[in-house]
Structure 1
Amino acid sequence: MPNIFSQFQKEDECRKMLEASRWENGKPHCPFCGNEKYYVIEGGKRYKCANNKCYKKYSATTGTIFENSKLPLSLWFTAMHIITAHKKGISSCQLARDLGVEQKTAWFMNHRIREALKEKNSPLLDGTIEADETYMGRKYRADYKGLQPEEIDHKLSSKIKNKGAVLGLADRKNGTIRVKVFESNKTEFVVDAVRKNVSQGSVLHTDGSELYNSVEDEYFREKVIHSKKEWVKESMIVDKVHVNNVENFWGVMKRGVYGIYHQISFKHLERYADEFSYRYNSRKISDKERFNLTLERVNGRLTYNTLTGKNEISPEK
């Protein structure tokens, strides 16, 4: 831990790192109007746009996950390093102890950093793609502890009982994975996600689930039937047929959920999926390289109201 903290001890150096990552050659430009001329204010901590139609004040944190935070960048950078380096994640309670902040603060930091880890404008997958699905969200009965079975059935008569299905799409060519989150494991959700993320004509390896039957005309589907104890078999097209890469990822994520977080609500499931897939996809680079990669992705702000559901957002279907 002391070695991690020593990398980010000086606030000025952290600010320069962020400026160099956000702006070409570290030269500021206004995030509101794009003007490259500015005035230096507050001893170099902030800038003022020189455009007479703008004149807005900004800093390197404007428009990022760090915006409007009272915590120093040195603490944020330490948290980013810890979260992205831990293979199975870190709880907000443990992060709070490591950073010397309250648990609520660490929880909010955790989710803001996860916001930076989400995929943006990702190209369609092609080649040989493995597809598999599972449940990760908390079981419905956790929301109705103490109620009688008939009361639960009445409350759930028009609701989905087990929220939190996830679909994993593993790219066999480059060893990466993409995770999509749904309320439930329905054909319409899974099929739509496959079409939006995998190029038509690609080879699709699945298990024996009937969820993929309706896309067999669009993809070269091959499957292994686990009920018949098929795990790997020869392909009629290319590569061996299996979904082992996705299932290996599920193993890592489920151990992280059960051992670190214990349970995940559906409301936040998508961010946890982004966190685990990001670490998995960057597993072959060093912790330092992963931190620098994360620093390049910090654009975009997550407010507390949005996080807690006061400004309601829904996971992608």
Structure 2
Amino acid sequence: MNIVNFINRFPDESSCVEFIKNQRLQQGVICKRCCCNKHYWLENEKSFQCSACSFRTSIKSGTVMENSNLPIRIWMLAITFKSATKKGFSAAEPQRQHGLKRYEPVFRMYHKIRVVMGKRDNIYRFEDMVEYDEAFVGKAVSNKTKNKLKRGRGSQKQSKVAVMAESTILEDLDSGKLEKSCRYFKMKKIKNLEAKTAQVLIKEYIDKGTVFQTDKSTTFSDLGDCIDVHVREISGTNEGNFNLKWVHIAISNLKKHLQTYHMITERMMQNYLDEFCYKLNRRYFGQKLFDRLIIASIYPYWHDYG
């Protein structure tokens, strides 16, 4: 879905309302009062009415657009921007493109979409072979305290990020050369580099029976309760570069991606990580990405869609 296709497919607000209405009816609207799933559409009210208790659900209620005064077409155009572009962009640019006066509603809208992306990816757990490493990415700090903060590893100028990649080893039958392919990525902002922090993430997102690959950091010295097979290699060696190939590639691409945003606060960092991973995990979806993100945004119960 690019901008030209979007304009042709959704020329006005009414066409967007009709599309969202049909999507919600297809996925199922659940009454908040009695949990009935049979509804009628009230054209004049732009709402669904429960056939059992007559409770009305607005077209935005229960979706990412709830409590927003922005038109549905603006929301759908924002989802188009997010799904059609590989690189990130600040909220100031779509504000100008949408012709909106205020920056804050656009900023909140794009962060809500990023939250949807994160919720969708949190459903998945990793299996098979998993690479794990930690990264440091720059974040916004005030000018008053910037010069007082320490540099290097553990600097308060950087956010700590745990990076996970589910990979598979492939062998060339002719040459016998080994290569690695990667399916999914996860990135989580962490408070520290302690072993307990890594253990919590591993238990939440990684199956115990995976082959877990890390470097020889002390963070990963005691993972016997979390993982059955743990492979540790020294970073920079041939074995280490091979075992951690995809997490290192992901970290490098993440840092380039975040350069687009000049002021990422610690509080908002996870949202940007979620956006990066969501699009990276669906890098082969093509135009289907728009429809998947639409369904994930409007379906309030976060079932297996997107």
Q: TM-score range by the shorter chain?
A: 0.7 to 0.9
Q: How many Å apart are 1:184 and its aligned residue?
A: 2.5
Aligned match of 1:225: 234
| Unmatched tracts of structure 2, length 5 or more | 169-181, 302-306
Alpha-carbon contact 2:195-2:220 (below 8 Å) kept: yes
Aligned match of 1:94: 93
Identical counterparts, % of pairs: 22
**Mapped partners of 2:147, 2:124: distance in 1:** 48
Alpha-carbon contact 1:136-1:264 (below 8 Å) kept: no
**Mapped partners of 1:2, 1:165: distance in 2:** 39
User: 1:168 is matched with which residue: 151, 163, 167?
Assistant: 163
**Mapped partners of 2:271, 2:48: distance in 1:** 32
**Mapped partners of 2:58, 2:9: distance in 1:** 22
Distance 1:111 1:90, change over 3 A: same
- The one-letter code of the counterpart of 1:86 is T
Alpha-carbon contact 2:146-2:157 (below 8 Å) kept: no
User: 2:13 is matched with which residue: 11, 14, 27?
Assistant: 11
Give runs of aligned pairs for residues 140-219 of structure 1, distance below 5 A: 142-143=141-142, 145=144, 149=148, 161-162=156-157, 164-173=159-168, 175-216=183-224, 218-219=227-228
Q: How many Å apart are 1:67 and its aligned residue?
A: 1.2
Q: How many Å apart are 1:163 and its aligned residue?
A: 5.7
Distance 1:221 1:162, change over 3 A: farther
Give runs of aligned pairs for residues 34-49 of structure 1, distance below 5 A: 34-43=35-44, 45-49=46-50
Q: How many Å apart are 1:148 and its aligned residue?
A: 7.8
**Mapped partners of 2:207, 2:184: distance in 1:** 16
**Mapped partners of 2:6, 2:81: distance in 1:** 8
More strand per residue: 1 or 2? 2
Distance 1:200 1:117, change over 3 A: same
**Mapped partners of 1:125, 1:28: distance in 2:** 31
- What secondary structure, in the 3-state scheme, does the structure 1 residue paired with 2:131 have? strand
Alpha-carbon contact 1:65-1:115 (below 8 Å) kept: no
More helix per residue: 1 or 2? 1
Give 4+ residue runs of structure 1 displaced > 6 Å after superposition. none
- The one-letter code of the counterpart of 1:82 is F
**Mapped partners of 1:75, 1:86: distance in 2:** 17
**Mapped partners of 1:73, 1:148: distance in 2:** 44
**Mapped partners of 2:245, 2:75: distance in 1:** 36
Q: How many Å apart are 1:41 and its aligned residue?
A: 3.0
- What secondary structure, in the 3-state scheme, does the structure 2 residue paired with 1:205 have? strand
**Mapped partners of 2:68, 2:146: distance in 1:** 41
Post-superposition Cα deviations, 1:82-105, rounded to whole Å, max 9, x if no partner, equal 012221211111111222223222
| Pair 1:56 & 2:55 matched | yes
**Mapped partners of 1:116, 1:145: distance in 2:** 34
**Mapped partners of 2:97, 2:238: distance in 1:** 42
**Mapped partners of 2:133, 2:248: distance in 1:** 8
Q: CA RMSD in A?
A: 2.8
**Mapped partners of 1:122, 1:148: distance in 2:** 40
Post-superposition Cα deviations, 1:207-248, rounded to whole Å, max 9, x if no partner, equal 23221111156332223312xx31446xxxxxx942121121
**Mapped partners of 2:17, 2:28: distance in 1:** 12
- The one-letter code of the counterpart of 1:196 is E
Aligned match of 1:114: 114
User: 1:23 is matched with which residue: 18, 22, 25?
Assistant: 25
| Pair 1:133 & 2:140 matched | no
Post-superposition Cα deviations, 1:113-161, rounded to whole Å, max 9, x if no partner, equal 112111345243111001011122526xx23526884xx79xxxxx983
- What secondary structure, in the 3-state scheme, does the structure 2 residue paired with 1:164 have? strand
| Unmatched tracts of structure 1, length 5 or more | 154-158, 234-239, 302-317
